[in-house]
Amino acid sequence: MSPTDGLPDEHVHGDAHAVAAEASAYQRAARLFHAAGDPERLRLLVELTVGERCVTELAEVTAANMSTVSQRLRVLRDAGLVERRRHGKHLHYFLADDHVRDLVHNAVTHADEL
């Protein structure tokens, strides 16, 4: 199987537009991995794989103060890994999409096999 099998033609031919799009995708992916690369932020992502949680719940389960958890969540939100919604006085966080869920699951599963 060729390394380009299954890729759209613009990736195979490498025109200037596709290269620019790839470069920006690499930048976004690098920011995503950087944000998830901290063990405590990764732990928050793992906690969110089971469902939406408020900052208070996340602080309790991770034994961190709410300010620290909020900072970590801000980094994850800025990277597009989590989203939030307000419910009364509480902010509830959840994974941005199933891609994030799969990424977190695969990363932790792979690391556990090493």
Q: Please give the Cα distance from 114 to 111 (Å, whole number).
A: 5
Q: Please give the structure tokens belonging to residue 33.
A: 């991995």
Q: Provide the pairing of β-strand 53-54 with 82-87.
A: unpaired
pLDDT category at 1 given cuts 50, 70, 90 is very low
CB atoms within 10 A of CB 41: 21
Looking at every residue in the chain, the average pLDDT score rounds to 88
Mean pLDDT of 36-54: 97
- The CATH class for the domain spanning 9-113 reads mainly alpha
Render pLDDT for 56-69 as a digit per residue (tens, 0 to 9): 999 999 999 999 99
Pick from 78, 86, 82, 77: which is nearest to 47 by CA?
Answer: 82
Q: Of 3-7, 16-20, 22-26, 109-113, which gets the smallest average pLDDT?
A: 3-7
Instruction: Spell out the domain ranges in the chain.
Output: 9-113
